[in-house]
Amino acid sequence: MNAPKTYYVYILASRRHGTLYVGVCNDIGNRLALHRSGRGSQFVKKYGVTRLVYVEEYASPQEAIAREKALKEWRRDWKIRLIEQDNPEWADLSPLL
């Protein structure tokens, strides 16, 4: 039997208080590699948004997609507050994965 999949909602930033990108995936390491190689999304490539600053985990794709859509509707200052609750320095979290 396969282990249960984990789905991720994540926020990337170009720098502290810089351009933000909200995404969803089921393999965060692979998705980051795609973004950083310029193949993840045109927006990320154009604006250099490659620093992983926020991550949430979900057990179902439906929950993760719903959360991603909700976050994309949030005001920018709400997203900044969310990031700074757990990551006040806007450190790149990818080494912790």
Would you state the pLDDT for residue 4?
Answer: 72
Would you state the pLDDT for residue 48?
Answer: 92
pLDDT, tens digit (0-9, with 9 covering 90-100), for 56-70: 999 999 999 999 999
Bridge partner residues of 21 (DSSP): 12
Site of tokens 């976050």: 71
Query: Can you read off the two tokens belonging to residue 92?
Result: 């790149």
The full set of domains in the chain, from first to last, is 7-96 (3.40.1440.10)
